[in-house]
Chain A
Amino acid sequence: MLAEWQYIGIFVALSPIFPLAPVVLNRLLGPHRPNPIKQQTYECGIETVGDTWIQFKVQYYIYALVFVVFDIEAVFLFPIAAAFGQLDLFAIGAAVLFIFLLSDGLIYAWSRGVLEWV
């Protein structure tokens, strides 16, 4: 089984070459004459005001938090689904209960108004 991952290992090791080659070629072929005006941050013709790296709206963060719950759920559900043929009804019942608990989490988040875009 480990031998299968040899292919992935080679792929991971070699894959940076494919995007790197055109980027390096571009650097060699293209002109390189930087000046301060050319390098200014783009913003619809006006000069940019202040720093970009600032505090940001919290709403995005809450969506990410709800996502984490479901992502962890997936890690548990995938093995159950893959072994589905060999499981008995009781094991499926446990998995179904697990899905039910997660839906409960979604309903809770929904009722608290977390999923409202403000």
Chain B
Amino acid sequence: MNILDLLKSLLSLSLGDFIRRNFGTGPGTELLIDLGGVVILSTFCLLIVIFLIWLTRKIVARMQDRIGPNRVGGRFGLLQTVADVMKLLSKEVIHPAGADWVAFNAAPLLIVISALLMWAVMPFAPGVIGVNLNIGVFYILAISSASVMVILLAGWGSNNKYALLGAFRAVAQMVSYEVPMILALLVPIILASTMSTEGIIAAQTLPFILFAPVSALIFFVSSLAETGRTPFDLLEAESEIVAGFHIEYSGMKFGMFFLAEFLNTLFMSGLVVTLYLGGYRFFGLENWVSADGYPYGRLIGLAAFFAKTFLLYFIYDWIRGTLPRVRVDQILNFNWKFLVPLSLALVFFVAIVDKLIPPGTNVVVRMTIHLLLNILIAAVALELLRRRGRQNRLAMSAGGGSGGVEAVAGHGGGHDDHGHDGPQPIEDVPDVLDTPLGAREPVVIPVH
């Protein structure tokens, strides 16, 4: 055991091996390594959010033709987020009257816990992973579904109507988009025949986005909805329900929701990279081991992983800076009537076709067959969508007064006769309670 050895293993991201070499491989050593791993990983996650918030503010500002943070910490405002954290720490935490104490206080803690725990199976570089669980992807799904419950807890516990509306929207949206997400996730698992995140990366001699671009796209769209980002940010739509489920939170408790949102977005970028873009793979350089036995290639792997992840993160921010919010019925229709059938068909055909390809086939041939299948499925789906859209347009123009636009136009004639510019009442409002299943629950809160 000498200092040079320690420095070399630190530099090559193999501190665990160093400890094992010098202290043996007993259960005590393993406990120490795991404990150190947890502390390092959690600290890293919490610190990178400070950078992420600055990055997002800078990117979105540039897209909106602003400069963004530029005072605190030099020209680029690098310390702006640190100053914001200081401010949040010195704010009063207001506990609203009538709030459920347990739910209100537990939610900010639980949402960060659920955001942190997912990182345990994220592979940063070869061997640099919290723990390589053999059910890694399943574990991620299990933890990420828990955050739905936490948001409901926060919305319900606040005793605020906006918060409750936001929470119900969040549950409807996140629960719905979990279905195409799960189904899209099945495709890389089928292709790799394993659920372990490192195993999936090891199977990607060619990145899976070439095998399954449709699955990658479905996963990406669902992850937007799962993290509640634009265009699916209905759960906190500030122009409708002010801030959604975290409206009553102040100080650092609000900060915890903010932290979890950014952490989840970075995690989703990392997950897309791991599942579809080859993770830390960089032309085999990531496995390079130096002559004296230190795996310096891990540094290249780490750099490749973060380069890909931040590229994805930039795309998330790009969407945030570009797209407007969609309506709640459009969100749910898009999910249940397009994404779910599409991902079902995808899993269906990928399972059959991959089994029909003989096991020893060249990976390029296998990739080409899968790519052609994906293009075919996408073409059929888009054609169906096009026909459906045309039908809807025809029905709308043939239906006369039934369409919303016609209803307004039909009353427009009376506009001048009355001699005022007030909005005319629309008489063709559909009966809200006339649901096909005969649901006759009293509607107390008007929902859009």
| Interface positions of A (Cβ within 8 A of B) | 1, 3-8, 10-12, 14-16, 18-20, 22-23, 25-27, 29-34, 36, 38-44, 48, 52-60, 62-64, 66-67, 70-71, 74, 77-78, 81-87, 89, 92, 95-96, 99-100, 102-103, 106, 110, 112-118
Contact = CB atoms under 8 A, between A and B. Distances in A.
Given A25-B252, A48-B161, A112-B436, A14 B445 contact: no
B337 A115 contact: yes
A70 to B, nearest CB: 4
Contacts of A18: 42, 46, 112-113, 116
A70 B247 CA distance: 32
Given A34-B94, A56-B445, A116-B436, A11 B189 contact: no
B387 to A, nearest CB: 17
13 contacts: A6-B30, A8-B131, A14-B38, A15-B113, A19-B108, A23-B252, A43-B162, A57-B441, A74-B186, A99-B348, A106-B344, A114-B436, A115-B336
Contacts of A92: 351-352, 355
A82 to B, nearest CB: 5
A39 B104 CA distance: 14
Interface in B143-197: 156, 159-164, 168, 171-172, 175-176, 178-179, 182-183, 186, 189-190, 193-195
Contact of A15 (B116, B160, B344, B348): B116
A53 B183 CA distance: 35
B347 A12 contact: no
Interface of B: 30-31, 34-35, 37-39, 41-42, 46, 85, 88-98, 108-109, 112-113, 116-117, 120, 130-135, 137-139, 141, 156, 159-164, 168, 171-172, 175-176, 178-179, 182-183, 186, 189-190, 193-195, 242, 247-248, 251-253, 255-256, 259, 328-329, 332-333, 336-337, 340-341, 344, 347-348, 351-352, 354-356, 359, 432, 434-437, 439, 441-445, 447
Q: Please give me the 9 A-B residue pairs with the lowest Cβ-Cβ distance, nearest first.
A: A113-B436, A117-B329, A26-B252, A85-B193, A19-B112, A7-B131, A81-B189, A70-B179, A74-B182
A43 B193 contact: no
Nearest to A14: B38
B4 to A, nearest CB: 29
Contacts of B251: 26, 30
A14 to B, nearest CB: 5
Main secondary structure of the interface of A (DSSP, over half): helix
Contacts of A43: 160-162
A17 to B, nearest CB: 8
A23 B348 contact: no
Q: Which has the most chain B C-beta neighbours within 10 Å: A5, A29, A59? A: A59
A44 to B, nearest CB: 7
